[in-house]
Amino acid sequence: MGGPMCFNTGDPVGVAGEPFRRRRLDPARLERFLPRRVTRRHVIGGALAVGAGVSALRLLSLERKIPSVRSAVVPKTEGKTVEWPSPLAQQTARIAHLLRRATFGAGPDELEAALKLGYGRVVDQLVETPPGEPPAVPGNSADIGALQQWWVDHMLATPTPFAERMTLFWHGHFTSDYRKVGTGQPYLYWQNLTWRKMALSNLASLLMQVTIDPGMMRYLDLATSTGKSPNENYSRELLELFTMGAGSFGEGDVRAAASALAGWRLPVAADNSRVGIFEQRRAYSGGPLTFLGKTGRLDLKSVIDGILASDATATFLVTKVVHHFVSPAPQASYIRRLADEFRTGKYDFKTLMRSVFLSPEFINSQSYRSLIKSPIEYMISALKALKAPQLSGLVLEAGEQMGQMVFDPPDVAGWPNNDAWISSSTVMARINFAVSALSQLRNLPPAGDLARLQLDGVLSPVTTRLLDQAGDDRTRWTIVLMAPEFNLK
Amino acid sequence: MSKDQVGINELKRRDFLRAGLVFGAASSALAAGYAAVPDAFARAVYAAKQGGVKNDNVLVMIQLAGGNDHLRTVIPLQDPKLHDLRPVLAAQSVPMALPLNSSFGLNQNMPGIKSLWDQGKLAVVEGVGYPNPSFSHFESIRVWETGDPTRRQVEGWLGKTITKNYDSQGHPLTGCACGTTNVPGALRDLHATVSVINSSRTFGLQGGTRTETTAGALWKGTPGIYGALFDTAISTVQETIASVRTAMRSQSSVRYSDNAKLVYPSKTELGAALQLAASLITSGSGVKLLHVTLGGFDTHQTELNRHNDLMGYLDQSVAAFYHDLDIHGFADKVLIATWSEFSRRPQENASGGTDHGAASAVLLMGNPVKGGFYGQTPSLSDLDGTGNLKYTVDFRAIYQEILNNHLGADAREILGQSFDRVPFLKRPSV
């Protein structure tokens, strides 16, 4: 890749080598937010005029009593944006915010239990509790529908939803799809178990595992790469999408790593193995290779060592984690701080996630509702709120229309996030999901307190008005599940 | 009918609505002459931003995502070097190719596009690329989408075209992505409103107008950093529903399948997306710039059968689409173009596939096209340092020809510079 990498010029994160991802970390989209956030903050009248300084307590308790004030909120017109007033100064809202982002949202009981523990201990519990094991796949894992349903069901049922959020995160990062991997072998099932087991391990172990994971070996063709004629597919994406980011390595590095990683084949039944098997005779047998500035003998371990020695790696991964869990437009200093810590902490994921959740940036007012729930998160959180796990089949149907179904990412960069989830087509699909889910339920949980429980009591004037006008719980549920507030986190 | 006769220069949103209603009401009378009326209607939709409406031509960009191997699409028949570089793939491609002339043949699975060639409706531009090529899918896709090899631009070239030339706020179907859930990068622009229609089957809001009203109210004026995005999305939903509803009302009178023996392939999403595109075009919904995608071209491994299949999907989908347009009287208006982020490396690998390459071939199809070969075929004996072909035609020269001579836009305004003309269009159709 000879040319200058000028693409980062407009990136507010200022991360060298941040790659272009279609629909993912697209600076074009980030740019849409930043200027507005900075320049379009508008005084909105009444009690809300103080913006971030609004008392969370008032918001949580007074939504009924201050309709006149709410209707004073000026709806956004061209060139003006009002901010969500952040309730995160208040413990309840802070914990609800954490659980929305780290899990699939909390019901009244979960919220109450978490409140008793306090924020810090909830974070401990999230990162320290080992993942709940999913049951065996019912039926046949060669049936992709059954496999997808199995994971969705587990997301709804698991006592450790943070493990599922992390597994989903890695599934989008070290991604594979059933179309290429196929379902004749249980490779994707194995991969899912592995990602869950290693979701909070460390980068070195996970990269080793990812490279020789049979699903990945098939998805990115490492299984057929030989030293004589290396296949560059895995090598390139290992550097570009998995660890360092475009611009932080050269074409020579791709070729060197492709040679070094050749020689692995898929396991056969006789191997009794769930990882690839190395065959010396198919491996690279030529002279020394130059990889990331160092020349010498190169194998899987030294490729990973080289990647971990590069400063770009921590920055790249931390940026992605932050875009998923904290903010679409983080400050460069925040990324630098977390990346330094990640690097010196031997790339330990638990430490990283703990730092993320405990960072002031996670709970500051700019962070509030700055992320858009992915389709899976939106649907799982809706069904959990409705206490309706029996509707999990709907997740499979609707997910495709919203742009996300597990084991079927759009491309090798996995799924996009945040604003890329919203188009005229996907908004329609989200609304249709809410309507359709509610139409299939005869009994609904009480909705009297929904605005406070699900939406922190922070509502737009329209949502407030419609909820005030709603005559029954079904209408209230419809409004809450359709509302932008519930689509954000 | 000249532009002046229908007075389309002055048309605004109001007129669009009125025309729509009139059209809807009159639809029962259209069975005989349906082709002419949607045409006029389509003209009416293109209210230009500054009163300078260009024409009623339509562009359909087909993305071949993953890097299409052009050496297995437009196959060199006489070059022995091809057999040296890819003994397996060449042996299985060259003998069965469908010859276009003595030097080149189309992939064996492309009889439909071959027939367009025979009618002078296929142009092949050889050697298409850009300086300092990126071998990253995502970077190179971005280069093609933004029309900027220096990777500084963030808006898509079609998005920019919409912003500069059309009033998309009132007409969200001006730019439309079919068969996907997201706005493709090429159509993206901060100031352009663009529709995304995944499938005609699932298009629409459950719960009807009540849902539409509630959702419309909820999503409009959303506070926070996503406010504008949510606002645009829901307005686009409403506008698109209205446009499609109006347009489809017209089409219900056309016994579509009886008029044509259309066979859109059912195996691929491209077929469904192009069928949707055809119904949007022929019903007069006002679509102008359409984008569809066929994925799966990243053939690092076992390329032969997979790529043959893909060529077949492309061919059947395009052939059915062209036929559909033709019988509805729209074929003169529509230019079909393929694009892919890069081609494959000339040398095959041990997995029976090919790695990421550089210069590619672009196909342009339809009645507006002047059939033939354009550009200069890069030499297989003169590869660059990465073992790839050296490009001879800047991909933006193709955009330039489309913009200037098909859409009637100012290419220089969109692309920032001028290129040597690649005259693959019959005539400036402005």
Q: What is the DSSP string of B29-51?
A: GGTTTTTHHHHHHHHHH--BTTS
Is 70 exceeded by the pLDDT of residue A47? no
Cβ–Cβ < 8 Å for A235, A254: yes
Is 60 exceeded by the pLDDT of residue B78?
Answer: yes
Task: Give the model's confidence band at A80: pLDDT under 50 very low, under 70 low, under 90 confident, else very high.
Answer: low
Strand pairing report for B393-394 and B104-106: unpaired
- pLDDT value at position A24? 30
Q: Which of A413, A423, A483 sits opposite B218 (nearest CB)?
A: A483
Q: In the predicted model, is pLDDT for residue A328 greater than 50? A: yes
- pLDDT bucket at B48, cuts 50 / 70 / 90: very low
Of residues A47 and B241, the one with the higher pLDDT is B241
A20/B contact by beta carbon, under 8 A = yes
Q: Cα–Cα distance between A144 and A136 in angstroms, integer?
A: 14
CB contact under 8 A, B202 and A429: yes
Percent of chain B residues topping a pLDDT of 90: 68
* Residue A182 confidence (pLDDT): 92
Give which of B138, B287, B105 is closest to A413, Cα–Cα. B138
Q: Which of B85, B132, B138 to mutate to test the interface with A (most CBs of A within 10 A)?
A: B138
- CA–CA distance, A25 with B21 (Å, rounded to integer): 42
Contact B225 A413 (CB under 8 A): no
Residues in CB range of B373: below 8 A, 6 or more apart: B100, B101, B104, B123, B124, B125, B126
Interface test with B, best of A8, A222, A428 (most B CBs within 10 A): A428
Q: Do A231 and B300 touch (CB under 8 A)?
A: yes
Nearest Cα of chain B lies from the Cα of A423 at a distance, in angstroms, of 5
CB contact under 8 A, B215 and A225: no
Q: What is the CA radius of gyration of chain B?
A: 22
Cβ <8 Å between A221 and B65: no
pLDDT in tens, B394-429: 999 999 999 999 999 999 999 999 999 999 999 765
The pLDDT assigned to B428 comes to 62
C-beta separation of A382 from A481 below 8 A: yes
Virtual torsion, Cα A154, A159, A165, A171, nearest 10 deg: -40
Q: What distance in Å separates residue B102's CA from the closest CA in chain A? A: 33
B252-289 residues labelled b (16+ CB within 10 A) or e (exposed): eebebeeeeeeebbeebbbbbbbbbbbbbbbbbbbbbb
- Which of the four pLDDT bands, split at 50, 70 and 90, describes residue B50? very low
Residue B139 to residue A246, Cβ atoms within 8 A:
yes
Q: Residue range B115-128: average pLDDT?
A: 98
Query: In this structure, what are the phi and psi dihedrals at residue B226, rounded to the nearest 5 degrees?
Result: -95, 5
- Whether the pLDDT of residue A66 is over 70: the answer is no
Nearest C-alpha neighbor of A60 from the set A42, A86, A41: A86
Structure confidence at residue B169 (pLDDT): 77
Mean pLDDT calculated for residue range A46-50: 27
- Helix, strand and coil content of chain A, in percent to the nearest 5, comes to 60, 5, 40
The CA distance from B341 to B145, in Å, is 9
In this complex, which of B223, B301, B349 lies closest to A82 when CB atoms are compared?
B223
> pLDDT averaged over chain A?
85
pLDDT at A228: 92
For residue A402, the chain B residues in CB contact (below 8 A) are 181
Percent of chain A clearing pLDDT 90 (strictly above): 80
Output the pLDDT for position B38.
34
Contact at CB, B150 and A4, closer than 8 angstroms: yes
B203/A428 CB distance under 8 A: yes
Contact A267, B335 (CB under 8 A): no
CB nearest A221 (choices: B155, B225, B351): B351
Q: Is A375 in CB contact (< 8 Å) with chain B?
A: no
Calpha distance B354→B86 (Å, rounded): 9
Q: End-to-end CA distance of chain A: give it in Å, rounded.
A: 38
| B294 in Cβ contact with B67 (< 8 Å) | no
Round to whole Å and give the CA distance between B254 and A354. 62
> CB B227 to CB A82 under 8 A?
yes
Chain-chain contact of B233 with A5 (C-beta, under 8 angstroms)? no
The verdict on A402 touching B (C-beta cutoff 8 Å) is yes
CB contact under 8 A, A221 and B135: no
Q: Which residues of B81-116 are buried (b: 16+ CB within 10 A; e: fewer)?
A: ebeebbeebbebbbeebbebeeebbbbbbbebbbeb
- Contact list, A463 vs chain B (CB under 8 Å): 218
Cβ of residue A38 closer than 8 Å to a chain B Cβ = no
Residues in chain B: 430
The pLDDT mean for chain B works out to 84
Residue A360 pLDDT exceeds 60: yes
Tell me if the pTM is above 0.95: no
CB-CB neighbors (< 8 A) of A436 in chain B:
206
User: ipTM greater than 0.85, yes or no?
Assistant: no
CA torsion through residues B88, B91, B94, B95, sign: negative
Cα–Cα dist A205/A169, whole Å: 17
Chain A residue with CA closest to B188: the answer is A28
Whether A83 has its CB under 8 Å from any CB of chain B: the answer is: yes
| Res A460: pLDDT | 95
Contact status of A299 with chain B (Cβ, < 8 Å): no
Averaged over B269-286, what is the pLDDT?
Answer: 90
Q: Is residue A488 within 8 angstroms of chain B, CB to CB?
A: yes
Question: Which is it for the CA torsion B224, B226, B229, B234, positive or negative?
Answer: negative
> Could you tell me which chain B residue has the CA closest to the CA of A424?
B233
Query: What digits encode the pLDDT tens for the residues A265-320?
Result: 999 999 999 999 999 999 999 999 999 999 999 999 999 999 999 999 999 999 99
Whether residues A422 and B229 touch (CB distance < 8 A) is answered with yes
Compute how many other C-beta atoms are within 10 angstroms of the C-beta atom of residue B23. Answer: 21
- pLDDT tens by residue, A251-269: 999 999 999 999 999 999 9
Nearest in space to B403 (alpha carbons), one of B288, B284, B283: B288
Q: CB-based contact (8 Å) between A160 and chain B?
A: no
Closest-CA residue of A relative to B301 is A221
Nearest beta carbon to residue A20 from set B131, B142, B172: B142
What average pLDDT does the segment B46-59 reach? Answer: 60
Confidence class for position A60, pLDDT limits 50, 70, 90: very low
Which among A431, A466, A479 has CB closest to B205?
A431
pLDDT per residue as tens digits for the range A85-101: 999 999 999 999 999 99
Contact A9 B152 (CB under 8 A): yes
* Partners of B294 in beta bridges: B64
Please give the average per-residue pLDDT across B33-56, as a whole number. Answer: 41
Give the other-Cβ count within 10 Å of A172's Cβ: 21
Which of B63, B136, B176 to mutate: most A Cβ within 10 Å? Answer: B136
* Residue A28 contacts B, CB cutoff 8 Å: yes
Q: How far is Cα B320 from Cα B326, in angstroms, rounded to an integer?
A: 10
Residue A425 forms contact with B (CB below 8 Å)? yes
pLDDT at residue B250, rounded to an integer: 61
Amino acid present at A67:
P
Instruction: Give the separation between CA B199 and CA A387, rounded to whole angstroms.
Output: 31
Q: Could you tell me which chain A residue has the CA closest to the CA of B214?
A: A479
pLDDT value of position B54: 63
Residues of B within 8 A of A474 (CB-CB) are: none
- Per residue in B143-166, pLDDT (tens digit) is 999 999 998 888 999 999 999 988
Residues in A touching B196 (Cβ below 8 Å):
423-426
Distant-in-sequence, close-in-space partners of B68: CB < 8 Å, separation ≥ 6: B297, B310, B338, B340, B343, B344, B360
A-B CB pairs within 8 A amount to 234
Question: Alpha-carbon distance A274 to B125, whole Å?
Answer: 47
Residue A201 has pLDDT above 50, yes or no: yes
Tokens read off for A418:
């945040």
Give the burial class of B423: count Cβ atoms within 10 A of its Cβ; 0-12 exposed, 13-18 middle, 19 or more buried: middle
Let me know the angle formed at the C-alpha of B217 by B213 and B218, rounded to the nearest 5 degrees: 120
- Express each pLDDT in B166-189 by its tens digit: 888 778 899 999 999 989 999 999
Q: Is the pLDDT of residue B258 over 60?
A: no
Task: Check residue A5 and give its pLDDT.
Answer: 27
Q: Say if residues A358 and A364 touch (Cβ distance below 8 Å).
A: no
Nearest to A233 among B196, B197, B300 (CB): B300
Put simply, whether A431 touches B (Cβ < 8 Å) is yes
For the cut 50, the answer to whether the pLDDT of residue A480 exceeds it is yes
B205 contacts A233? CB cut-off 8 A: no
> What pLDDT, on a 0 to 100 scale, did the predictor assign at position B262?
64
Mean pLDDT of A215-241: 95
Q: Tens digits of per-residue pLDDT, B325-373?
A: 999 899 999 999 999 999 999 999 988 999 999 999 999 999 999 999 9
CB contact under 8 A, A460 and B223: yes
> Which amino acid, A274?
R
Residues of chain B neighbouring A467 (CB-CB closer than 8 A): none
Beta carbons of A417 and A322 less than 8 angstroms apart: no
d(CA A105, CA B270): 37
For B127, the enclosing helix (H) or strand (E) is: strand B122-129
Euclidean distance between CA atoms B82 and B155, whole angstroms: 38
Query: Rounded to a whole number, what is the distance in Å from the CA of B368 to chain A's nearest CA?
Result: 31
3-state secondary structure of A126: helix
Q: Which ranges in B252-299 belong to alpha helices (H)?
A: 256-259, 269-282
**Minimum-distance CB partner of A420 among B182, B197, B203:** B182
For chain A positions 325-344, those within 8 Å of chain B (CB to CB) are: 328
DSSP lists the bridge partners of residue A163 as none
For residues B244-273, average pLDDT:
66
Q: What's the pLDDT band for B31 if we cut at 50, 70, 90?
A: very low
Percent helix, strand, coil in chain B, to 5, is 40, 15, 45
Is residue A63's pLDDT more than 70?
A: no
At a CB cut-off of 8 Å and minimum separation 6, what does A78 contact?
none
* pLDDT interval class at B76 (50, 70, 90): very high
CA B131 to chain A, closest CA, distance in angstroms equals 8
Structure tokens at B262: 């259309």
Cβ separation of A22 and B206 shorter than 8 Å? no
Q: Is A33 on the interface with B (CB under 8 A)?
A: yes
pLDDT over threshold 70, residue A197? yes
**What would the two tokens of residue B36 be?**
């002419």
pLDDT in tens, A101-158: 999 999 888 999 999 999 999 999 999 999 999 999 887 778 899 999 999 999 999 9
Query: Residue B350 and residue A226: Cβ atoms within 8 Å?
Result: yes
Long-range contacts of B245-248 (CB under 8 A, 24+ apart): B246/B20, B246/B21, B246/B23, B246/B24, B246/B285, B247/B20, B247/B38, B247/B280, B247/B283, B247/B284, B247/B285, B247/B286, B248/B279, B248/B283
Rounded Cα gap, residues A177 and A199, in angstroms = 19
From CA B216, how far away is CA B261, in angstroms rounded? Answer: 40
Q: Which helix (H) or strand (E) holds B142?
A: helix B137-146
